[in-house]
Amino acid sequence: MTSCGPCWPPLRPKVGTSLPWLYYRLFRWFPKRAFSRLMGWVAATPWPGWLLRPTIALYVALFRIDMAQFVVPAEGFRTFNAFFGRAVRPGLRPLAPEPDALLCPVDGTVIAAGPIAHGQLLQAKGHSYSLEALLGAAEGWQAYEGGTALTVYLSPRDYHRIHTPCAGEVARFAYVPGELWTVSPAGVRGVPGLFARNERVVSFLAASFGELAVVAVGATVVGSVRVVYHPVRTNRPGARPMAAPVQPPLPLERGAELGRFELGSTVIVLCRLGEAVLDDLAPGTPVRMGQAVGRILRRGDA
């Protein structure tokens, strides 16, 4: 499989200098929210074709995007957001055939994978963050203690729609406004508790074997995160935390579209102890939507 994301090489700071630390110091005062809202507005605004077409063509060339994979050709979009959220051609993201397989919800590159232990998740080598800080806006977050988590970064070249890891119902969700730090290697290694600080939408999928959580994390330049089951949109002035049931619950087949990024970011999948487990994939591993990245441990009656 060819890489569909960056290789995340180790940072090599100059002697006596930490590049992630410098990033954190330099950009903590940068107006990340205002800048991201501006970029979101620009990306959602219809441009004249003479400007949009060469811009998209340059983006495609710069990031080496194979547009043959997608339904609409590069010249067929009216906004940059429409191009960025482009749909992949049917059949090009086959779903793992094993009935107990958990599917990767996105194309991207693994940042971290492993157990959720003592209320902590792995952010990067030597760095962890709090499960409560990540999911604490929603009831029942404690049930994910002892489970496993997989974090995947979506680079600018990746397919940016989010899909379900298994069949189930979206029964509840949480929206947590927050900061918009970059999720690049410098951000992941330099910003403490990055994924629990950035704004995010948590979708809880009730399945036959239990429940899992899919967290869509915002970042610098992410115009918005959208989901298929609620009109909530991220990165809006005056946003307030929200934790609510989905009424009625929305049933989704395995691999169905769950949401999308309007400009890209990161997805975290969490499984509860004894119900399902995610693979311990090495950082830098390229993954594609639909491939098996875990397995169901017990099957329900459904």
Residues annotated as catalytic are 107, 163, 265
DSSP string, 108-165: EEEEEEEE-BTTEEEEETTEEEEHHHHHTTSTTGGGGTT-EEEEEE--TTS--EEE-S
Question: Minimal CA–CA distance to 96: which of 293, 297, 299?
Answer: 293
Cα–Cα distance measured from residue 302 to residue 287, given in angstroms and rounded to the nearest whole number? 29
3-state secondary structure string, 50-87?
HHHHHHHHHHHHHCCCCHHHECCCHHHCCCHHHHHCCC
Cα–Cα distance measured from residue 240 to residue 226, given in angstroms and rounded to the nearest whole number? 16
* Residue 207, burial from CB neighbour count under 10 angstroms (0-12, 13-18, 19+): buried
Question: Minimal CA–CA distance to 204: which of 244, 256, 248, 261?
Answer: 244
Query: Looking up tokens 């995007």, which residue turns up?
Result: 65
Question: Minimal CA–CA distance to 83: which of 95, 65, 98, 100?
Answer: 65
- Residue 287 pairs in a beta bridge with 108
How many Cα atoms occupy the beta-carbon half-sphere of 84 within 13 Å?
24
Cα–Cα distance measured from residue 147 to residue 269, given in angstroms and rounded to the nearest whole number? 11
Residue 262 phi/psi, 5° resolution? -100, 90
Q: What is the dihedral of CA 127, 202, 137, 212, to 10 degrees?
A: -80
